[in-house]
Each structure stands twice: as C-alpha cells, then as structure tokens.
C-alpha cells in the first residue's frame, strides 16, 4: 500500500514539476526583458538569462536551506517593474558592465533587507496596509507595463513619442502588430480552446509560428526583430567581485547611497508581494505558509541569484497552483522544475534566441491586463449603476485607488504608496469619528409582527426583548428600558461600548446563558419555560447589539 502511495506521489511530483517548468520559461524571459529594458535593446539577451536565472537560483537556494513547501519562485511583475523604474530613473546609462553591477547590487542588498524583515518578524505588519493602497499600486503597475510594451507590439523604436506615433501611424509595422494581436488572443482564449495546455505556452508557440509563417511568405522586412544569440555557458557568480569593487574608491562608489535607497524600496515592495502571495497560497491549498520564514528564505535566495546575474523574484502563483493541481506535493516537484530550467539555459539557448520580441511583448501585455485589480473594476461599474448601499464609502476607497495610481504613474512607485497610506489613514480616522448607530428601537414602542402570548406582549412590548430578559432571569416589565441599535460601518468594541456604557456583569450572565443548548422556539411560543424551576432558560433567536445594555 505504501509503495503504491509513494509511486502515485512521485508521478504527481513529476507531472507538476514538468508542467511548472514549461509555464515558468516564457514568463521568466518576459520579466527579464522588462527589467533591463531601460538599458536598451542590446541587453535583451542578458535580460532573458537574468529572468531564467532568477527562476533557477531562488528555488534552488531555498531547497538547499531545507524548506519543504512546494512553492515555486520566479520573477514577479510588480517587483520587476519597480526594478525597471529604478534603472531608468536613478542609475547611470553608461556602456559596459557598470550598470549591471549596480543593478545586481541593488538586488543583493534588497535580499539582505528582506532576510532582516523575516528575522525581525516584520511580516506581521502586512495587515495594517489598506487594501485601496495595494489596489492602486497594482493598477498603476499594470498600466505602466502595458504602455512599456506598445513600442515592440507596434514594431517602432522604443523611444518614439506616443504623440508622434499618433501623427504618423505609418511608422508602425502592421504585420508585427498582427503577430502581437494573434499571440494575445491565443493566450487570452487558450484556456477555453485547449484547457490542458498552459495558455502562455500555447501563445508562445502560435505567435512564433505566425511570425515565421509570414517570414516564409516573403514578409520578413515588415516584421520586428528576434531575441538574438544567447550564450550557452554554465552560470557563475561573476558579479560578486563587482559588488566588492563598489565599496572601494572609484567611479561606482558615489552611487552607493542611491543603490541603498533603491534596495530598501525594492525589499519593502517585494516583501509585501511575497506575503500577499503566501496568504493566497494558504487559501487555495490549505497548507500553512509562514510569512516571516518565507521572507527570510526569499531574501537569501535573492542574494544568491544577484551574484549569478539574476533579477529579484518572489512566489510564482501560476506555477505554484499548476504544480499543486498536477499532483506536486513534495520538494521533488520543485527540484525537477529547477533541473529542467537549468537544462533549458544550457542546451536550448539557440532555440530561445529565435523567439520574436513581439511575442514576448504580447505575453507582457496580457499579464498587464490580468494584473488589473478586479475589485476596482467591479466597484467602478457598480458605482456608475448605483448598485451599492453605502456608495460614499466605496467612492472614498476608489479615490484612494485613483490617487495612488496617478501619483505612481506621474512620479514613482514609492511616492504613490506613501501618498496612498497617508490618505487612507486620514479617511479611516474620519470614518471612525462618526457614529455608527443609524437608528434605535425600544421594546415598549416597536412591536413584533408575529403572534405572541398576550401577557408577554403587555409586559415587554416586543418578544425579542422579552426573550432576552428571560434569558438573563429578569422580569419582562423592564422591556421599555431595553432596545436594539441599528449600526452601519465597521463596528468595533470601543465604539460598541459607547451605546450605553460597559456592563460586564450583565455581559457575563449573557455569555453564560448563551451556552444553553435548549431550542429557542419555546420562548417564541411564550410558554414560560425560562422561569420553570429546574429548566435552563431558552436561547433567544434575536441578537442584542454588542455593547448595548445586555441582560
């Protein structure tokens, strides 16, 4: 029996690892290109390897450190675009290896910060970040990724202004745009047509086939470039000595403060992304993922991958869920994925170099559309149709989302998150300063619509208050001094206690009575069971608001 179980588990691990590897390759290549895109088109092959190295050395390091979870690690969209923004804004655009040394030094220092966050257990602070801030940040990244891929999708130079392209649409290459649109449609509709094949792999194959099909028909001049030659060599930690050179007096040392600040920013965003992904994995798989331990291991993994020339990464949700659904339950599936990715780099570099750049851009376009926060889109739609009870609260949340996204797009990601946090805290204080009580009901004024015992109705006014009084053993004639409160918004203990003060003895008696297993329909019938000797009081089917003057 155990042999059959082990064989079935091994088959699941092999299937999950192989499927995750196939899914990880195109996504990692796309994020690698995106990260080093500000350096120019000549760094596209380096970006391809940087993305693949991230998907290899991060999980390999975590496996060697003894982690037993089946999490898959690879570059992440938010983290990658933040790195690209730092490269474009803060680092010198000089030829040679100096920009690459500074880039991977940022990733190395960010890994150190991440490991410290996990050791100091700062991952628990994730609960205090408002959801509208995260949604605005995510929407801004999605828009920026989409805009960054318009040039390769249209086959125009990267630095061509959008207004000039609108004035001169003839600069675009229609066939390149056609290949990009075909790739996007296949990725988007692939799960319906071929649910067993990963959509991004299907789009990569169909898009590349379309590109070379048009080239075979004599249309090669109207198509965009391919990735180019990728050197096939065993990865080496060649950038470690470059990190040491930054500390010595020289041309790179003045950039050290900028590098440290960028690394701290990257570590915060990457840690936030990793903790959110860990919670998502917990909700889907049911396996507990300790957030602080994940941060520590991920930080060490980013340090190692930076030495080999890989970009920062995080928990890859798509590959993790694919591995889980395919049957991967042990570390064997993660090890197989790492082995297949390493073999891809060593032996399939020439094949990867034949992939058109427009196909990689199309995969990132689909990723940017899928990255849009669904709650924001649904909230806008429902707000326009007034499909909300408390539409003002939703409008304030959407205002925070728009503000964070706008500041992020116009300035940078750090400024957007800081402004969003400040505004969200301000709105929270304004909401909490208002009373949450909408209306109140008194037992001698509001009557129940159900037929009750006349004696009970004469004494208390409403059966819900009489039942609550009977539950505590008090005379029902006190019903006019009791009531129900209708609340709106986030009701917390501190506000609930404002209704009529703190009545801890009554609350304890109510909690003691709430443990009674007797059915509540006897109290509804007015049979007086609550006052019979030797019988426990019946539970009321009505709830008294927290903090009110409970019996």
Q: Where are the domains of the chain?
A: 2-372, 373-434, 437-531
Q: From CA 407, how far away is CA 430, in angstroms rounded?
A: 23
CA 384 to chain centre: 26
Selected residue with higher pLDDT from 244 and 331: 331
Q: For 465-484, what is each residue's pLDDT tens digit?
A: 444 444 445 444 444 555 66
For residues 216-229, average pLDDT: 87
Supply the pLDDT for residue 213.
Answer: 94
Alpha-carbon Rg for the chain in angstroms: 30
Cα distances (angstroms) measured from residue 38 to each of 225, 264, 314, 537: 17, 21, 22, 73
Selected residue with higher pLDDT from 524 and 366: 366
* Range with top average pLDDT, 77-86, 189-198, 433-442, 487-496: 77-86
Supply the pLDDT for residue 443.
Answer: 57
Q: How many CB atoms lie within 10 A of CB 389?
A: 8
For residues 216-224, average pLDDT: 88
- HEC assignment per residue over 84-101: HHHHHHHCCCCCCCHHHH
Query: Which contacts (CB < 8 Å, 24+ apart) does range 167-172 have?
Result: none
Average pLDDT, the chain: 77
Selected residue with higher pLDDT from 325 and 385: 325
485: phi then psi, degrees, rounded to nearest 5: -115, 130
- HEC assignment per residue over 35-49: HCHHHCHHHHHHHHH
For residues 303-328, average pLDDT: 92
Supply the pLDDT for residue 171.
Answer: 80
Angle CA 123–125–126, to nearest 5? 80
Three-state DSSP state, 68 = coil
Q: For 485-531, what is each residue's pLDDT tens digit?
A: 666 554 444 444 444 444 444 444 444 444 444 444 433 333 344 34
Model confidence band, residue 55 (pLDDT cutoffs 50, 70, 90): very high
Q: For 129-144, what is each residue's pLDDT tens digit?
A: 777 887 888 888 889 8
């Amino acid at each position: 029996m155990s042999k059959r179980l082990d064989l079935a588990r091994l088959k699941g691990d092999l299937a999950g690892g192989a499927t995750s590897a196939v899914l990880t390759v195109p996504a990692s290549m796309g994020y690698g290109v995106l990260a080093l895109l500000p350096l120019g088109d000549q760094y596209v092959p380096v970006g391809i390897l940087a993305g693949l190295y991230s998907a290899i050395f991060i999980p390999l390091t975590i496996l060697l450190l003894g982690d037993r979870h089946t999490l898959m690690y690879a570059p992440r969209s938010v983290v990658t675009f933040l790195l690209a923004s730092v490269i474009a804004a803060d680092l010198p655009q000089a030829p040679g290896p100096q920009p690459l040394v500074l880039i991977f030094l940022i990733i190395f220092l960010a890994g150190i910060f991440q490991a410290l966050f996990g050791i100091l257990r700062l991952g628990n602070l994730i609960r205090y970040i408002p959801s509208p801030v995260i949604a605005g940040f995510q929407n801004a990244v999605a828009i920026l990724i989409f805009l960054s891929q318009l040039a390769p999708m249209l086959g125009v130079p990267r630095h061509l202004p959008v207004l000039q392209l609108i004035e001169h649409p003839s600069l675009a290459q229609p066939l390149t745009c056609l290949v990009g649109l075909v790739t996007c449609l296949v990725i988007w509709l692939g799960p319906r047509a071929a649910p067993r094949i990963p959509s991004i792999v299907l789009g990569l194959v169909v898009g590349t086939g379309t590109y070379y099909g048009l080239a075979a028909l004599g249309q090669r001049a109207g198509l965009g470039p391919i990735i180019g030659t990728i050197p096939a060599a065993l990865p080496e930690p060649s950038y470690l000595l470059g990190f040491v050179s930054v500390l010595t007096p020289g041309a790179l040392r003045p950039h050290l403060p900028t590098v440290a600040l960028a690394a701290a920013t990257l570590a915060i965003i990457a840690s936030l992304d990793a903790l959110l992904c860990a919670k998502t994995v917990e909700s889907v798989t049911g396996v507990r993922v300790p957030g602080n331990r994940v941060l520590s291991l991920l930080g060490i993994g980013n340090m190692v991958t930076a030495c080999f020339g890989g970009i920062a990464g995080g928990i890859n949700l798509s590959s993790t869920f694919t591995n889980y659904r395919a049957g991967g339950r042990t570390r064997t599936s993660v090890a197989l994925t790492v082995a297949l990715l390493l073999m891809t780099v060593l032996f399939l570099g020439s094949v990867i170099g034949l992939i058109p750049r427009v196909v990689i851009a199309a995969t990132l376009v689909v990723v940017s559309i899928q990255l849009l926060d669904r709650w924001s889109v649904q909230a806008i739609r429902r707000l326009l149709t007034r499909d909300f009870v408390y539409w003002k609260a939703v409008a304030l949340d959407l205002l925070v989302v728009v503000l964070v996204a706008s500041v992020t797009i116009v300035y940078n990601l750090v400024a957007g998150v800081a402004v969003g946090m400040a505004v969200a805290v301000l709105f929270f204080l304004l909401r909490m300063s208002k009373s949450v009580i909408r209306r109140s009901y008194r037992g001698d004024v509001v009557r129940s619509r159900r037929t009750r015992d006349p004696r009970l109705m004469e004494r208390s006014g409403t059966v819900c208050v009489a039942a609550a009084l009977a539950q505590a053993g008090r005379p029902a004639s006190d019903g006019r001094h009791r009531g129900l409160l209708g609340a709106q918004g986030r009701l917390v203990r501190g506000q609930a206690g404002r209704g009529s003060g703190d009545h801890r003895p009554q609350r304890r008696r109510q909690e003691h009575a709430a443990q009674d297993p007797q059915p509540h329909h006897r109290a509804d019938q007015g049979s007086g069971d609550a006052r019979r000797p030797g019988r426990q009081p019946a539970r009321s089917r009505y709830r008294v608001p927290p903090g009110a003057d409970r019996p």
